[in-house]
Amino acid sequence: MAVTSLPIEKIRADFPILQEKIRNKPLVYLDNAASCQKPNAVIDSISNFYRHDYANIHRGVHTLSVRATDKFESAREKVRGFINAASTKEIIFVRGATEAVNLIAQTFGKSNIKAGDEIVITAMEHHSNIVPWQMLCEETGAVLKVAPMNVQGELIYPEFEALLNAKTKLVAVVHMSNALGTVNPVKQMIAAAHEKNIPVMLDGAQAIPHMPVDVQDLDCDFYVFSGHKLYGPSGIGVMYGKQALLEAMPAYQGGGDMIKTVSFEKSTYAGLPHKFEAGTPGIADVVGLGAAIDYLNEIGMANIAAYEAGLLAYATQQAKQIKGLRIIGEAEDKGAILSFVLDKIHPHDIGTMLDSLGIAIRAGHHCAMPVMEFYGVPATARASFAMYNTKEEIDVLMQGITSLIEVFG
């Protein structure tokens, strides 16, 4: 099966960690759904920033502060362009997608959701898009509703739509499942919710490195993602929100840089986006995220999506030829994730044995315990692909799985 072309040798050369040996074997890194590796462009941008431009931002008038501020705000503009937001005022830097969901829950949620109201999620959510809403429901008396999925791992769309009613105050759904790879029909879901004046938050942590995202075309009200899955640094992420919603939301944390005036009697808050960015942020990490976006734009997100679709198709074809292997999640619209179980072999044993061959996969519940419960398994093994992976690495994975089955009899 042909895999759509990318300049793969050049791309792989950009990622120094891919030259590592693990247990005297060439590293085959297939844990990209947990976190992607970093190209030299990102590593160098952070190093150069600390070597030549570092200072605190926004408050200084000296040269280094001005340069650091320019780089920080330039990265905000890069994020805006990358997701096609209308304004940089709609781009809020946070620690990651998890903090973004909690921010929305504790500001928009507490301001707009009360006892008896309903929040709709899906059965395939990451814990980060379940627990904050459960906490909000416990605080307010609201009710969490779960749209079901079928055995292929696809949303049962009519049942999702049936949950939308006058009590629904928010839809918060995953764009692409980290455990199954399912890509939800989010544009259709958003349109259905908006017909009933229900705002929609998308958890884009898994989708953002694999496909083009245009928040204005989707018309989502919030979109959240993490930098570390986008080939950028860890500890940094983005919350996009429509400007009118962000302006109406109360501040999340108090401190420096999010204020306009402070007295012992009263404080007033800064305008967007700084209202939600209290304290000194991860300045160098934001610069690194900007470098990651530059790198991805050079390759092209549509090109990456096409290439990874070819990898997934090839991996799925090969996996189905292995007796005793069961794929978990076979949605028709699916990103580059292959979750599977083997007869009589626990996923943790799969992960450990493959590591002895230099193959890095993830074994566990993937912060999606309700998904595991749905499929009646304690965990899955998950191979997740990125633009630097190859057909040859998939062959190594499948050979490793076959050897593992032979060892376990």
Residues 6+ apart with CB under 8 A from 401: 319, 322, 325, 342, 350, 354
Q: Rounded to the nearest 5 degrees, what angle is found at the Cα of 339, between the Cα atoms of 151 and 20? A: 170
Q: Give catalytic status of residue 137 as yes or no.
A: no
Q: Are 181 and 337 in contact (CB under 8 A)?
A: yes
Q: Rounded distance, CA 356 to CA 302, Å?
A: 35
For the record, the structure tokens of 357 come out as 């061959």
SS (H, E, C) 142-163: CEEEEECECCCCCECHHHHHHH
Main-chain dihedrals φ then ψ at residue 191, nearest 5 degrees: -60, -40
> How far is 99 from 194, CA to CA, in rounded Å?
25
Token pair belonging to 401? 């799985």
Q: From CA 265, how far away is CA 188, in angstroms rounded?
A: 48
Q: Cis check for the bond before 233: say yes or no (omega within 30 of 0).
A: no
Q: Which two tokens stand for residue 6?
A: 């990318």
Q: Which of 36, 137, 220, 367 is catalytic?
A: 367
Q: Could you give the dihedral angle defined by the CA atoms of residues 117, 121, 125 and 126, in that order, rounded to the nearest 10 degrees?
A: -30
Task: Give me the active site residues, please.
Answer: 367
